[in-house]
Structure 1
Amino acid sequence: MTIVVTAATGLLGRLVLTELLKKGVPAADIVAGGRSVEKLSDFAGQGVRVQVIDYDKPETLTAAFTGADRVLFISGSEAGRRIPQHNNVVNAAKAAQVGLIAYTGIAGADSTTMKLASDHLATEAALKASGLPVVLLRHGWYLENYTDQIAGALERGVVAGAAGSGRVSAATRADFAAADVEALLSSKGGEVFEMGGDEAFTMTEYAAELSKQSGQEVRYQNLPTDKYAEMLAGVGVPGPFAEILADCDRGIRDGELHVGTGDLSNLLGRPTTSLSEAIQAAL
């Protein structure tokens, strides 16, 4: 069985490749693709087939998907360009008649009002229209969205945001990667997995846990959505992306990233990594 992993050079993609190998999938059955294939040299050394996959270059997609039994389609990261890029992926997968395609989207894609979700919802629609067997892997928030910022939070003593008292069901990127692999290998098509961490938390609770474990006082500062966008732009985040990030916090405030399905832990066959464990590891 030939398994193709797109965007394999990214953080999630590399974790997926590791999980596939841990699962005993023969390296020669895995095709790992990305724009900068030199970043995959360590996997190539293990026998994984590495080739260029560029969402802006349909010919690379056609070459990668020909003969593919299963494709893990990891969403692009370039907001504003994703719809044409993703359409290229879907069209190439349809032309190649891949056996199954699993797409990493966003939790609640068909119900959330977050701006970030629009590209994902359009991609899901294109996949459904393709006639291919499709699996939707709707990811909640990554714990790394917070733990990667710990150094700055400790330096300032403040975690800023616009999430209010909303709860977010975050889990580690590694948890999502392992669940993606399980679904990719076992699904028959038609499944929708709403994936989030078992223990939802507020940003105030996050700041309290960080304070407890670090021994330094860190407080959560809640801002209006527009002011948070201005703050992000002020520290160098490009304006349109700052607005999207602030709107994501607004979505958290409104409960749109609180996932209570248990799909993630069910796929993992274990509890998801807790906030406490993630902070401990990051520290």
Structure 2
Amino acid sequence: MSHDAKTYLVTGANGQLGLLAVQSLIEKVPAAQVIALVRKPEAGADLAALGVTVRIGSYDDPASLDAAFVGVTHVLLISSSEVGQRLAQHENVIAAAKKAGVAFLAYTSILRADTSPLGLAVEHLATEKAIVASGIPYAFLRNSWYLENYLGSIGPALEHGAVAGSVGEGRISAASRADYAEAAAVVLANSDAYVNAVLELAGDDAFTLTDLAAAIGELAGKPVVYAYMPEDAYKAMLVQVGLPEGFAGLLADSDVGASKGGLFEDGKTLSRIIGRPTTPLKTVLAGAMGK
């Protein structure tokens, strides 16, 4: 298939990762060959301004997906944020891709989905299996944590002088959203080099929550420590500060998974794909803190 005949569709294109992926993709392929899938027309304005085609479709509406996938050859399936409903939603996307004769499907999964101790991995692994079963050539972008996941810790850390969590001394190999988006765009634009690839993607430099606390404290010029909490206590604290119980449980479970090495990876595959070192923790913290 010539480069000219390819069309690249990014699902969830107005989300934080999706928008970055589209922006990165149009640096690698003509914007006219890029299709951004969003759920509502008003969500597509910023994307249309980039010169890409905007199509409307929902993970929950197979007919809308069938219409949106007409003429598409390459798909970046950005995993749904609706934990518990993701597998069914992803299966709708996979079915539409198969019907459309898509030549390559990249999926944003989770680090070592097949052996991960994180409860979050269950739907990702099931989605990977559904993609393999579909027969569509694929790449699994097994992303570790986003550095941005920790930006919400800054305010409480400065207020209380502590970062709370259940990670213990587990090391976390996180990278920025932009790093993962760039990798997704590289893989999509150079799909022939990544057919049926399983890519464990993570930041170059792992850190503990003790390191995170120290970095926030250093940037703020005040002492911040890491306060370890058992899983139940941490979940209860998250509920107390206003998180829904299910989501609080998921975060606490993820922390425990990280304590078992579930978010640690030192293969440096991500930096190899993007051709530069991944973004350091301190850079993202400093940006968020205006330092």
Q: Under TM normalisation by the shorter chain, which class is it?
A: over 0.9
Which of 140, 144, 158 is 1:140 aligned to?
A: 144
The aligned counterpart of 1:19 is 24
Pairs within 5 Å for 1:101-250: 101-188=105-192, 189-250=195-256
Measure the CA separation in 2 of the matches of 1:91 and 1:166: 38
Q: Is the 8 A contact 2:39 2:58 kept in 1?
A: yes
Measure the CA separation in 2 of the matches of 1:113 and 1:239: 20
Per-residue deviation at 1:46? Answer: 3.1
Which of 83, 89, 108 is 1:85 aligned to?
A: 89
* Larger mean Cα displacement after TM superposition, 54-63 or 42-51: 42-51
Per-residue deviation at 1:152? Answer: 2.9
Q: Is the 8 A contact 1:7 1:53 kept in 2?
A: no
Measure the CA separation in 2 of the matches of 1:220 and 1:60: 47
Measure the CA separation in 2 of the matches of 1:148 and 1:226: 20
Give the residue type in structure 1 aligned to 2:210. T
Q: Is the 8 A contact 2:14 2:47 kept in 1?
A: no
Give the residue type in structure 1 aligned to 2:21. V
Q: Is the 8 A contact 2:117 2:260 kept in 1?
A: no
Give the residue type in structure 2 aligned to 1:34. V
Q: Is the 8 A contact 1:178 1:268 kept in 2?
A: yes
Per-residue deviation at 1:278? Answer: 1.6
* Larger mean Cα displacement after TM superposition, 148-157 or 5-14: 148-157
Give the residue type in structure 1 aligned to 2:168. G
Q: Is the 8 A contact 1:27 1:46 kept in 2?
A: yes
Long gaps (5+) in structure 2: 1-5
Measure the CA separation in 1 of the matches of 2:250 and 2:46: 34
Residue aligned with 1:149, SS: helix
| Cα deviation 1:154-198 (Å, max 9, x = unaligned) | 122221110000000001000110011011111232111100000
Once superposed, what is the RMSD of the aligned Cα atoms? Answer: 1.1
Q: Is the 8 A contact 1:148 1:282 kept in 2?
A: no
The aligned counterpart of 2:53 is 49
Measure the CA separation in 1 of the matches of 2:276 and 2:102: 31
Give the residue type in structure 2 aligned to 1:114. L
Q: Is the 8 A contact 2:25 2:189 kept in 1?
A: no
| Cα deviation 1:201-223 (Å, max 9, x = unaligned) | 00001101111111022111110
The runs of at least 4 aligned residues of structure 1 exceeding 3 Å deviation read none
The aligned counterpart of 1:253 is 259
| Cα deviation 1:249-273 (Å, max 9, x = unaligned) | 0011011110112110001101001
Give the residue type in structure 2 aligned to 1:247. D
Long gaps (5+) in structure 1: none
